[in-house]
Chains A and B, each alone.
Chain A
Amino acid sequence: MSLAEEYSKTDGESRLSQSIAHLKQNRRAYFLIAPAAVFLLAVVGYPILETFRLSLYRSPADSTIETFVGLQHYVEIVNSDIFYRLLWQTGRWVLVGVAGKTLLGLLIAVHLKNDIQGRKFFRTAFLIPWGIPYAISAVVFRWIEHPQFGYLNAVLLKLGVIDQGIGILGNPDIAWLGVVVADVWIGTPFMAIIFLAGLQSIPQDLYEAAAIDGAERWHQFRYITLPQLKSVILMATLLSTIWTFVSFDVIWTMTGGGPISTTATLVIHIYQVGLQNGNLGRGAAYSVIGFLFLLLFAIVYLRVYTRGGDEL
């Protein structure tokens, strides 16, 4: 046995014995959290395992018989064009949506922190979009963007910018933007409130000291606000990314994933394949892939997040 192997074995053994000792020492604590852990395993673990199991079977809509097909669904998915189109559309939806919500949220939070007139009113007003059920907001935006009845087209027609209504949600090139706008409108207040809370926890004397040193507002924002807000921004964007990734109601209500599936994301496609068309096995395989993507993203993101010594 080489020296390195011996070291590593010794290291492994000592880590194992440390773990056993830790378990013995904290036996009571583990015993106390056991019910919660079992409950979590039941309500979270079981559905995940069942979804994975289902993804290994073919289960047509018109039959109760499940046929084991192994990894066939996965192979077919990764060999299909639609999968890569869905990945691109999901990535675009998440990236633009989260970026929009983050930037707008930050902008609003910075302004609401300042002592502007009517600050209380604006703080309340900005929360309204977040308080409205997503599906209702989506319906409102669908009507705003409607080519015949929509306010947007009515205004543009009145101004003479266009001579006939534009069907934003019916245009394969820009429909996704029409949906992202609605999602950003809905999700921005949450980001703004989180950022506002973060901003209010930054010590005021940092700004005073910077002002005495002659730092302008942009520099104060760049070198004080952003670094101090880093952990809040990272946490809020992580949550927003997960929520946007799994978002269903806005897209479904506004476009149903169309036109020509150009606004469909992985989650929309899972619903269409698994529930609408009754192909549960294929839908489950897509779900597992989506879950793995999110898990991978969260792990990488948290690695980056904690690299600077930040604690969750």
Chain B
Amino acid sequence: MIAIAGCTGDGNGDGTGTADGNSGDGGNGDDGGQSIQFLTMGVGDNIKQFFEENNAAFEEEYGVNVEFTSVTWDNARQTVNNRVDGGQAPDVSRWPARWIPQLVGKGALEPVDDLMDGEFGEKFAEGVANGTMYNGSHYGVPWAASNKCLYYNKDVFEAAGLDPENPSLDTWQDMLSAAKTITESGEVSVPALGLAGADAIETGSQYYHYHWSYGADLVDDEGMPVVNSDGAAEALSFYADLHLEHGVTQASPLSSTRQDIRQLFENGDLGMVIGHVYTGLNITESQEKGEVDFEYGIAQVPKGPEGRYSLFTIDTLGILSQSEHKDIARDLIRFYFDEERRFQYSKQKGFLPVVKAVGEREYFSESKNWGPFVEAGQYARARPKLSNFSQFNDRMVQAIQEALADQKSPQKALDDAQSDLEDAMS
């Protein structure tokens, strides 16, 4: 019996997703009548059939009933926590790696070192595998990964007198220079650059590229906040000035979520935007349908004075401690990590392959859309794993908004955030 509830589109809220493996070491195929609860998030139309077919195949192969549920990203964290707190945890659940500490603190996640330290774990690139670690143990298998690059609209660049084939977007200053040229050219009616500033989780995700590239960090080695360094203030100044001083962004960054600016770019109504691989995939699909008619290019996220970073997000597939079917749960994970299944998932869903063999396939390595993102893997950086990351991120978003609204200087906004975060985390 497969039930899909609360399907959404392409996963928002900064989630990600993936899989591979072999058909494990003989599951409990004779557990007639047993059920396993498999919870995931953001199953949209592009991946619904994949799960339906594969859950049915698993049921047939193992003689186990898969109770499959998908919830929206908005409700993801609360749903899993409610079920854990109510003693009704699913057996297997997708779970963003940055939220691992919160469930581990409750004793709700099962370590899966037996999987990850063995042959199975060799499927993954080291950086990806490490992304599921916390306190020395793996608390999930890497299910999905995403990172970001800088998209630019070639038609806009050309109209503004810039070279669309050699866009020179290596540094933030290069990006600003191109944005100014576009804005001042008088030949282009669309904003040069998309800037996210709305009260949403992803505003932090867009800004952290700048923060890190100026040598700033979010937390120190002890997990305490360090958000108001000189570098951080420079980064936030640069970010806010893109709108306040240079006027190269869309009209109202404080109204714009990451999805808004992505949508603008995908419609051809924006010069540049930092986005996931699926931005390119969406445009390609729209081009094939004749819905849009513009050319785009993909560059690496620009570098700052202290380096280049591409925000890397990993979601895991974890086994909940309350599960009474942990062996079958492991079988389900191995089943979904079959290489061909992982290929189909990554291809259909539009997330980076987490399995090395899948990433090496021509489909990804030779693709105009995928190639730059595979390259961006070397600049990957994940958000810190904090049990209260949501609260941490909310406070950072507030500081970003205060600077963008010109209510506080970037230094003051970050100093206040630092003070509040110290209180919250002490």
Q: What separation, in Å, do the CA atoms of A172 and B104 have in the docked complex? A: 38
Q: List 9 A-B contacts (CB under 8 A).
A: A60-B388, A62-B104, A62-B387, A147-B251, A147-B255, A148-B264, A171-B252, A259-B254, A278-B81
Which B residues are CB-close (under 8 A) to A64? 85, 106-107
Interface residue tally for chain A (C-beta within 8 Å): 30
Q: How large is the interface on B (under 10, 10 to 19, 20 to 34, 35 or more residues)?
A: 35 or more
Does any Cβ of A come within 8 Å of B398's Cβ? yes
- B320-354 interface (Cβ within 8 A of A): none
- Per DSSP, chain A at the interface is loop
5 pairs of A and B residues whose beta carbons are closest in the complex? A167-B252, A258-B199, A62-B105, A170-B255, A170-B254
Which B residues are CB-close (under 8 A) to A257? 199
B-side interface residues toward A, CB under 8 Å?
Answer: 77-78, 81, 85, 101-107, 197-200, 250-256, 260, 264, 269, 387-388, 390-391, 394, 397-398, 401-402, 405, 407
Closest to A145 in B: B255
Task: Judge whether B251 and A62 touch: CB under 8 Å.
Answer: no
**Interchain CB contact (< 8 A) of B255 among A60, A63, A164, A168:** A168
Q: A148-B269, A259-B198, A261-B398 are in contact. Are A170 and B252 (CB under 8 A)?
A: yes
Nearest Cβ distance between residue A67 and chain B, in whole angstroms?
14
A-side interface residues toward B, CB under 8 Å?
Answer: 60-64, 146-148, 164-172, 255-261, 272, 275-279
Task: Judge whether A63 and B251 touch: CB under 8 Å.
Answer: no
Nearest Cβ distance between residue A272 and chain B, in whole angstroms?
7
Task: Judge whether A172 and B388 touch: CB under 8 Å.
Answer: no
- Per DSSP, chain B at the interface is helix
Task: Judge whether B254 and A63 touch: CB under 8 Å.
Answer: no
Q: What separation, in Å, do the CA atoms of A16 and B161 have in the docked complex? A: 92
Task: Judge whether B402 and A260 touch: CB under 8 Å.
Answer: yes
Which A residues are CB-close (under 8 A) to B402? 260
Q: What separation, in Å, do the CA atoms of A2 and B85 have in the docked complex? A: 60
Task: Judge whether B251 and A276 touch: CB under 8 Å.
Answer: no
Nearest Cβ distance between residue B396 and chain A, in whole angstroms?
12
Query: Which of B78, B255, B391, B402 has the most chain A CB atoms inside 10 A of its CB?
Result: B255
Closest to A146 in B: B255
Nearest Cβ distance between residue A22 and chain B, in whole angstroms?
44
Query: Which of A164, A167, A168 has the most chain B CB atoms inside 10 A of its CB?
Result: A167
Task: Judge whether B398 and A260 touch: CB under 8 Å.
Answer: yes
Q: What separation, in Å, do the CA atoms of A257 and B199 have in the docked complex? A: 7
Q: What separation, in Å, do the CA atoms of A194 and B161 have in the docked complex? A: 63
Q: What separation, in Å, do the CA atoms of A255 and B254 have in the docked complex? A: 10
Q: What separation, in Å, do the CA atoms of A167 and B255 have in the docked complex? A: 6
Task: Judge whether B407 and A148 touch: CB under 8 Å.
Answer: no
Q: A62-B106, A172-B407 are in contact. Are A278 and B255 (CB under 8 A)?
A: no
Question: What 18 new A-B contacts, CB under 8 Å, besides A148-B260, A171-B255?
Answer: A60-B387, A61-B387, A62-B106, A62-B387, A147-B250, A148-B264, A164-B251, A165-B251, A166-B252, A167-B253, A167-B255, A169-B255, A170-B198, A170-B255, A256-B199, A258-B401, A277-B388, A278-B388
